[in-house]
Amino acid sequence: MMEKLNTMVSTSSCSILAETQKRFKLSGEQFIEKILMLCAAISILAILLITLFIFSRGIPVILKTGLGNFLLNLEWAPTSGNFGIGAMFVGSLVVTFTALLWAVPLGLMTSIFMAEIAPPRIDKILGSLLELLAGIPSVVYGFFGLIVIVPFIREYLGGNGLSVLAGAIILGIMILPTIINISRDSIKAVPREYKEGSLALGATHYQTISRVLLPAARSGIITAIILGMGRAIGETMAVVMVTGNAAILPGNILSPVRTMTSNIVLEMGYATGDHQAALFATGTVLFILIVLLNFIANLASKAGRVNESN
């Protein structure tokens, strides 16, 4: 009975049903697309709002102090109205470059080893160990630095241990995974024919690596270094714990130093009024620096792709 009725209904209104079904399906698709678009819009909106907020809070103080004065003045005495982040600006760069100085050669050589020399099994083990290294929270690195590296420097190298060097050692370890992973991938991405051609011409394995593979992977390696640098400049917690945070120009590698990120995290708890705005201004400078570095990294990888296609 029911079936009969059904067929009757379906034959009589078959075309209408199909029509509604089609329309309904379409609107469902569209609905989901709209939802996904909304999600994307929300995350973009969040970035825009944060940017807008940082700039709107930071820029007035920079204008009031004068951009040159704000960036170059070495006097940071916020409670008496002296806002110069010169020492911190230099501090961030010094700690970062000291970290790159040892982490880049080590990272690069490790990535060559993993991509070219190590058997696949070892490569895999090293890869997962690196993932582990990248997953450790920065406060743990900082604590390790404070308990192990700082006393070591104090004991064997002098000073009180809270220093540029301690910060650079910790930061170097923290950016190793970034440098190694990206360089390894770019070495592995070099077309097989390059290597085979080089070996066929009679070059040794080492000659092939240094004359063919590394130049071919250059843009990826540069990207790795720049991204590592960005991470080092932005790192905060570990640095605050081991660098001593004196707002002075570091005279040598054992001298205490304060980075821009440290400056913000150190003083935000008690800062009010112009002092707080000056911390936002420090954040603005950091923000621009990081965006600039990412932009350069993008350019480098694009340039590399153009080279390859030629």
Partner 1 sequence: MLSIKSKPVIILILLGAIMAAAFTVSGCGQQDAANSSEKTDGAKLAGTLTIAGSTSVQPFSEVLAEKFMDNHPGVQINVQGGGSSQGVAAVISGAADIGSSSRDLKPEELEENLIETKLALDGVAIAVHPSNPVTNLSMEDVKNIYLGNITNWSEVGGKDGVITVVSREAGSGTRGAFEDIVMDKQEIAKEVIIQNSNGAVRTTVAGDKNAIGYLSLAMIDNQIKSLDIDGVKSNVDNIKAGTYKISRPFLYLTKNQPEGLAKAYLDFVLSDEGQAIIVEEGAISPQ
298 near partner 1 (CB under 8 A): no
256 near partner 1 (CB under 8 A): yes
Contact 261, 239 (CB under 8 A): yes
Compute the chain's Rg from CA coordinates. Answer: 28
Quick one: tokens of 151? 């006393």
* Three-class secondary structure of residue 77 per DSSP: strand
Please give the helix or strand (H or E) that residue 180 lies within, else none: helix 164-188
The string of DSSP codes covering 231-289 is HHHH--HHHHHHSB---S---STTS-B--HHHHHHHHTTT--HHHHHHHHHHHHHHHHH
Quick one: tokens of 185? 């991938």
CB within 8 A of 156, min separation 6: which ones? none
Shortest distance (Å) from residue 31 CB to partner 1: 6
151 near partner 1 (CB under 8 A): yes
6 near partner 1 (CB under 8 A): no
Contact 196, 222 (CB under 8 A): no
Quick one: tokens of 284? 């603005």
Shortest distance (Å) from residue 33 CB to partner 1: 11
Please give the helix or strand (H or E) that residue 82 lies within, else none: strand 82-83
235 near partner 1 (CB under 8 A): no
270 near partner 1 (CB under 8 A): yes
Q: Which is nearer to partner 1, 166 or 173 (CB)?
A: 166
Region of 28-36, 107-115, 133-141, 209-217 interacting with partner 1 (CB under 8 A): 28-36
Region of 64-72, 99-107, 157-165, 227-235 interacting with partner 1 (CB under 8 A): 157-165
Binding residue for partner 1 (CB under 8 A) from 21, 56, 204, 207?
21
25 near partner 1 (CB under 8 A): yes
78 near partner 1 (CB under 8 A): yes
Shortest distance (Å) from residue 238 CB to partner 1: 13
Nearest-10 crossing angle of helices 120-135, 164-188: 140
Q: Which is nearer to partner 1, 186 or 243 (CB)?
A: 243
Region of 56-64, 71-79, 223-231, 281-289 interacting with partner 1 (CB under 8 A): 71-79
265 near partner 1 (CB under 8 A): yes
Please give the helix or strand (H or E) that residue 181 lies within, else none: helix 164-188
15 near partner 1 (CB under 8 A): no
Binding residues for partner 1, rule: CB under 8 A, are 21, 24-25, 28, 31-32, 35, 77-79, 146-147, 150-151, 154, 160-162, 240-241, 244-248, 256, 258, 265-267, 269-272, 275
